[in-house]
Each structure stands twice: as structure tokens, then as C-alpha cells.
Amino acid sequence: MKLSEAKQQFISSWGAFGTHWGINRTMAQIHALLMVSPAPLTQDDIMEQLDVSRGNVNMNIRDLISWGLVDRVILAGERKEYFSAEKDIWKVATQITRERKKRELDPMLKLLAQLEKIDGDRKNPEVKQFVDTVGNIKKLGLQADKMLDVMIKADENWFLSGLLKIFK
Amino acid sequence: MKLSEAKQQFISSWGAFGTHWGINRTMAQIHALLMVSPAPLTQDDIMEQLDVSRGNVNMNIRDLISWGLVDRVILAGERKEYFSAEKDIWKVATQITRERKKRELDPMLKLLAQLEKIDGDRKNPEVKQFVDTVGNIKKLGLQADKMLDVMIKADENWFLSGLLKIFK
DNA sequence: AAATGTTTTCAAAATATTTTGAAAGTTCAA
DNA sequence: TTGAACTTTCAAAATATTTTGAAAACATTT
């Protein structure tokens, strides 16, 4: 298989993969393209290579920057802005984890803590099942939260070489 | 806060939460409703409580069953089918992990293995960056794969009491 | 086998999300 | 300050996903 073909396939699969995780296709594709590009690209490069509009590229790049996955790069003597993705996959993974935790897990845990404190007789099966379920989800969520915190702080080597042994 | 109010809020938040993870709102809401319901419910119960159509309930229930999160229950002497969700949150988590791994991670790893074997001179920066990126994603994916396998096989107590100590 | 209760299907409608592209905004060199 | 190069915005269009509801299929009882 040739590079151009493989690249196309990688970008398109990464896009499809992203949609299963609540990320829009173009955003995932731009990310994929930048990850396999050794040099920074301009909006026009991206528009051309992915065949999408300027506005679309602009919005999704902005989003990727807000996720901390892409950086604006100013090349000396160039008027245009260039964009470059974080290439260290471990950093990409921890960054995504960090953001999703902040945006989704933390607010959910806050809500669950509220819902646990409802009025009502715990002998009532409806009440009991509700409190139990919410409580258990919260418990699991708190564990996940702690685990993710540790992972975020851990460095790649520790994960790649160490974690495996612990889990084996 | 009263049970009915808390229940509404839980169902609606769980639905919103689901949409961030590629799960449709109604499917997540049905799951939430069944998790906090002590007794099994019929399609009509669900239609009424969530105010959605019969077809919608039917399709999403079928999907939840295919994910192994909901079971059909036949009550003796009853004509109607009842539905009941797995209440053990640890089992819910491992079941979701198992399915997503099978449906998404495993195929992605298979693809990456293919893409790594492209023709071309590794001295060429375009080729090098592509091979490096794909290779690193594959490496991380394989680690995650192994870790998830261990988690799936581990039992709840081991996770809740043991993992915390290891990670602390 | 007909009537009744229940579940499933799926085309069409409703809704939600993504994408476009042109206009407005910004920056900067001359 | 002007104008060229470039970026951002956002309403409208395109697309994708979800939901509906009525008809068909199926199952059970009489």
C-alpha cells in the first residue's frame, strides 16, 4: 500500500471512529491529518486535503485548540497561521481524558451527589432502588475519577511498562 | 427533593450524558429508567413514563438487549413482555467496556496493523511521521486493550478496594 | 379460524447536527 | 489610511439521525 492511500484510509477511519465517541467527523479527520503531517499546515492545506469548506476547518480547528490537541504555529516571515497537532500519543490520550473528565464526569458526579439526598422512606422499594442505583453509580464514578487523575499525572513510561505488570 | 423529581432529573441527565458518548438520548433514558425501577416494566410503561412512541421504545430496547444491558422478563400468567436492566453497576460497566472494545477498539487495531506496513522510504519525513504516528497509536491501543481485558475479568471487589490502593 | 392482545417493522416526518460560503472582521505592510 | 492577505462568523442549506405511527406480523385464547 502506498502512503497516499494509507493516509486516506487512516483519516477516513479516524473520522468514523470519532463519530462513535461524540466527536464530529471533520474534527477527527483534521486531527488525524495533522497527526500524520510532519510539518504544520495552513487552513488552505487542510481545506484542500480534506475537501471541506473554510468555515468548517476554522470552527473545528478552534475546537481542537480548545481541547489542547492542536496548536497555532507562526512561521517566521509568514503571514498565514499554521497548525500542528501534538504528536505524542500519550499526551493526546491524557489530554482527552483530562478534558472529558472535566466536561462530563465531574459535573455528573456533582449531580449524583445531589440526587442521593432525596426525601422519602428508604423502605419504599422505589426509593431504595433509586438511592442504591444512584449511590453505586457515584461510587464507581468516584473510583474512575481517582484512577483517571493518577493516569493523567503518570508519565508514559510508567504506563507503558509499569501498568502492564501490575495488571498481569 | 422528591423521588419523582429526582428520577426525572436523573433520567434526563443520563440521556444528555449518553449523547456525549455516541448513544442516543432515548436509549440512555430507557436504560436510566430501568436501572432505577425495582420491578420490570412493559413497553407501555416506558412509553408513558418517557413520553415516546412505541416504535422508538421497541427499537431502543432491542438495542439495549444487544448490548447485554437489558433482559426480557416473562412474568408467570402475563401476556405482555417485561423488561429489566442489570442493576449491578460494575457489571454494567464491564459489559459496556466489553462491547465497545469488540465493536470499536479491536477493528481499529486491526486496521492500524495494516497501515503500518506501507511501502516507502522511512527516511522520507512524510512516511516516517505516518509510520510513527500509526505505530504509536497501535502501541497505546494494545496496552489499553490488555488493560481492559484484565478489568473485564476482574471482579468488583478487586476493583473497588484493590485498585485504589495500587493507584494511590 | 376468528378475534384479541401484543410486538415488530419501516417509510415518512420531525429534529438535530454539520457544512457551506459569502460577508464582516482583523492584521499588517506600505 | 488604504488595500491586500488572511481569519472569523453565522444564517441558510445540506445531511444525518431520531422519532413517529400505522400497518403487518405474530401469539394466544376462545
| Dihedral (Cα; B145, B151, B154, B157), 10-degree rounding | 170
Nearest to B65 by CA among B114, B18, B99: B99
User: Which positions on strand D lie below 7 Å from a protein C-beta?
Assistant: 5-11, 17-23, 28-29
Distance in angstroms, CA of A56 to C1' of C30? 33
Residues of chain A found within 8 Å of residue B108, distances taken between Cβ atoms: 13, 17
Cβ contact A147–B125 (<8 Å): no
> Could you tell me if A121 lies within 8 Å of chain B, comparing CB atoms?
no
What is the distance in angstroms measured between the alpha-carbon CA of B94 and the sugar C1' of C29? 61
Interatomic CA–C1' length for residue A62 and nucleotide D9, angstroms: 13
Q: Collapsing DSSP states into helix, strand and coil, what is residue A34? A: helix
Distance (Å, rounded) from C-alpha A136 to C-alpha B110?
35
Asked whether residue A47, judged by its CB, lies under 7 Å from any atom of the DNA or RNA strand D, the reply is no
pLDDT per residue rounded down to tens, chain B (168 residues): 999 999 999 999 999 999 998 899 999 999 999 999 999 999 999 999 999 999 999 999 999 999 999 999 999 889 999 999 999 999 999 999 999 999 999 999 999 999 999 999 999 999 999 999 999 999 999 999 998 998 888 876 656 554 555 544
Phi then psi for residue B72, to 5 deg, are -75, 140
Number of H helices, E strands in chain B: 9, 2
Strand partners, B74: B81
Facing B136 at nearest CB: one of A89, A114, A167: A89
Interhelix angle A25-35/A3-19, rounded to 10 degrees, is: 140
In sequence order, what are the residues at sequence separation of 6 or more whose Cβ sits closer than 8 angstroms to the Cβ of residue B159? A143, B90, B151
> Nearest residue (Cα to C1') for D5?
A79
Q: What is the pLDDT of residues A113-161, one digit of tens each?
A: 999 999 999 999 999 999 999 999 999 999 999 989 988 888 766 555 5
Pull the grid cell for residue A21: 465517541
pLDDT (0 to 100) of residue B168: 45
User: How would residue A168 be classed by pLDDT, with cut points 50, 70 and 90?
Assistant: very low
CA of B68 to C1' of C16 (A): 28
Which residues, other chains included, contact A70 with Cβ-Cβ below 8 Å and sequence gap of 6+? A30, A31, A34, A61, A64, A83, A84, A85, A86
Q: Give CA B138 to chain center in angstroms.
A: 22
CB contact under 8 A, A115 and B1: yes
Alpha-carbon distance of B26 to B124, in angstroms, equals: 49
**Which long-range CB contacts under 8 A does B93-99 form with residues at least 24 apart?**
B93/A140, B94/B151, B94/B152, B95/B67, B95/B68, B95/B69, B96/B67, B96/B69, B97/B148, B97/B151, B97/B152, B98/B68, B98/B152, B99/B67, B99/B68
**Contact flag A2-B115 (C-beta cutoff 8 Å):** no
**Cβ of A115 and B35 within 8 Å?**
no
Closest CB from B22, B108, B143 relative to A19: B22
A131-143 pLDDT per residue, tens: 999 999 999 999 9
Q: How many CB atoms lie within 10 A of CB B126?
A: 16
Give me the phi and psi of B144, to 5 degrees please.
-60, -45
Note whether B55 contacts A: Cβ–Cβ < 8 A: no
